[in-house]
Amino acid sequence: MRFTHTFNPTSLREYDIRGIVGKTLTIEDAFAIGRAFGSVVRRRGGKTVVTGYDGRLSSPSMEEALVQGLVACGLTVVRVGCGPTPMLYFASVTMQADGAVMVTGSHNPADYNGFKMMLAGKPFFGPQIQELGVLASTGDVVPAEQGAVRALDLRTDYVRRLLRDWDGGSRPLKVVWDSGNSAAGDVLQKLVAGLPGEHTVLNGAIDGHFPAHHPDPTVAKNLEQLITEVRRQKADIGLAFDGDADRIGVVDDQGEILWGDQILILLARDVLKTHPGATIIADVKASQVLFDEVKGAGGKPLMWRTGHSLIKTKMAETGSPLAGEMSGHIFFADKWYGFDDALYAAVRLLGILSRQDKPLSALREALPRTVSTPEVRFDCDDTRKFNVIEEVAARLRKAGADVSEIDGVRVNTPDGWWLLRASNTQAVLVVRAEGPDEAALDRLKQAVVTQLAQSGLSAPDFSGNNAGH
């Protein structure tokens, strides 16, 4: 019987496949992903694909169907089981697998799930994901053939490799970790057992209901439990993860949040000591302070497009040893493998802190102060959002503005900068702005409102608290 399958078009996204379980993403989709992606691997001469899954309730059955689809392509499938997405990446790179697929809903709500893929050790994204839809809908897959399956428990090897790059000093640290009932689970317990210092793990059990809070460390509300515990214990640092542990959240000894770009500043200063003049990459949502600090530390700051697949690809192209996003994805190619790994970033950050003679709060407070909006997202139809960006860009170019069009428009003015970009994964536009004070920030917001009005859009809700930075 000839295989054909049609995906819900909303599930085929820029960086991965993602949807609502039972509605826009089904078990049949999982099998079809295996069948289509497996065909891509086979046609490249590949033989082996590694799979893993996170702690969501739907993940085991989704992974099972995925494996069946891959096996039907005649592939050998190595199943590493439930764990962090970075552990699946680690398996792919160290085993030199021809392909890898992680079943994960990342930081999305509990009723979501999805698939992140690698092909020959590189990100599989953009047009490649759309091509899977074409292969499935046309039945253009390799002839059915029975492959093989084997299980591999990599947790001990992965943790051993994480610990190998511990480079701390003599200062003992008291650390609170919030696993957020994420897929970090057993891996995190093994990791803290191997690290020096005093460690407390909150919400360590893998639980797809996420009973404590939503697993997204970029949202301040999700860090409240961690902040309370850090202050109660008078800990040196608090660390948190998203659902599949490829994004990190950080809280200092005073219970104040360090955002993605601030974390990257501390890491960049350290990496640049051994890689002077190296390129450090951050996405367009990052503070100007980051780019200035990287330059001041002797590095070459490079602003790039948002998206973990895009950042990883740019790192490989430029030879960058370190990159990061505001969303908490941190990518190390210095000693590591160039992929985003919150557990590894935590080890490196703890190493830096234990070599300092001052608390993390002092490092944060020493950074130049700015005032910024949070990342403001507002609805805009998928068929309209990119056109709005082009209209705004055209007007700015005509006006002779200082504008970067790497990813949307990022406009530099005497008051600071503002950003307007279209999300690659949702029907929304994203706004962010940063200035030296509230008055400057208000003028930047008004510039955004004016541009949106000229494209027939209402002003977004800027009522969220501005963040000191």
| Token pair belonging to 259 | 């955002």
Give the domain-ending residue among 97, 129, 153: 153
The answer on pLDDT for 469 being more than 90 is: no
> Is 2 among the domain residues?
no
Instruction: Choose among 345, 363, 353, 364: nearest CA to 175.
Output: 353
Query: For position 215, which CATH number holds?
Result: 3.40.120.10
Measured CA to CA, the distance from residue 53 to residue 113 in angstroms comes to: 10
My answer on whether 133 and 266 are in the same domain is no
pLDDT tens, 349-404?
A: 999 999 999 999 999 999 999 999 988 999 998 889 999 999 999 999 999 999 99
Q: Residues 323, 394: one domain? A: no
**Dihedrals φ, ψ of 218, to 5°?**
-85, -10
Same domain, 129 and 172: no
pLDDT, residue 465, reads: 52
Residues 94-128 have pLDDT tens digits of 999 999 999 999 988 899 999 999 999 999 999 99
CA distance linking residue 11 with residue 19, whole number of Å: 5
Q: Hey, how many other C-beta atoms are within 10 angstroms of the C-beta on 55?
A: 28
Q: Do 210 and 332 reside in the same domain of the chain?
A: yes
pLDDT at 169: 94
Q: Supply the pLDDT for residue 241.
A: 97
Which of the following is catalytic: 11, 58, 92, 106? 106
pLDDT at 1: 65
Residue 357 sits in the same domain as residue 423: no
Q: Determine contact, residues 424/459, Cβ cutoff 8 Å.
A: no
Whether residue 130 is contained in a domain is answered as yes
**Once rounded to an integer, what is the mean pLDDT over residues 308-327?**
95
Last residue of a domain, one of 108, 136, 153: 153
408-463 pLDDT, tens digit per residue, is: 999 999 999 999 999 877 789 999 999 999 999 999 999 999 999 999 999 888 87
Q: Is residue 1 part of a domain?
A: no
Q: Is 455 part of the annotated catalytic residue set?
A: no
Residue 467: band (very low, low, confident or very high) from pLDDT cuts 50, 70, 90: low
| In a shared domain, residues 105 and 14 | yes
What's the pLDDT at 464?
60
Res 374: pLDDT: 86
In a shared domain, residues 123 and 232: no
- The structural domain count of the chain equals 3
Q: Do 187 and 299 fall within a single domain?
A: yes
393 and 340 together in one domain: no
* pLDDT over 70, % of the chain: 99
Domain boundary among 343, 365, 387: 365
pLDDT-derived band at 466, boundaries 50, 70, 90: low
Calpha distance 239→204 (Å, rounded): 12
Residue 327 identity: S
pLDDT at site 188: 98
Which residue range forms the structural domain that includes residue 459?
371-468
69 within some domain: yes
Indicate whether 164 and 264 sit together in one domain.
yes
User: What is the four-CA torsion angle of 263, 268, 273, 278, rounded to 10 degrees?
Assistant: 170
pLDDT of residue 367: 95
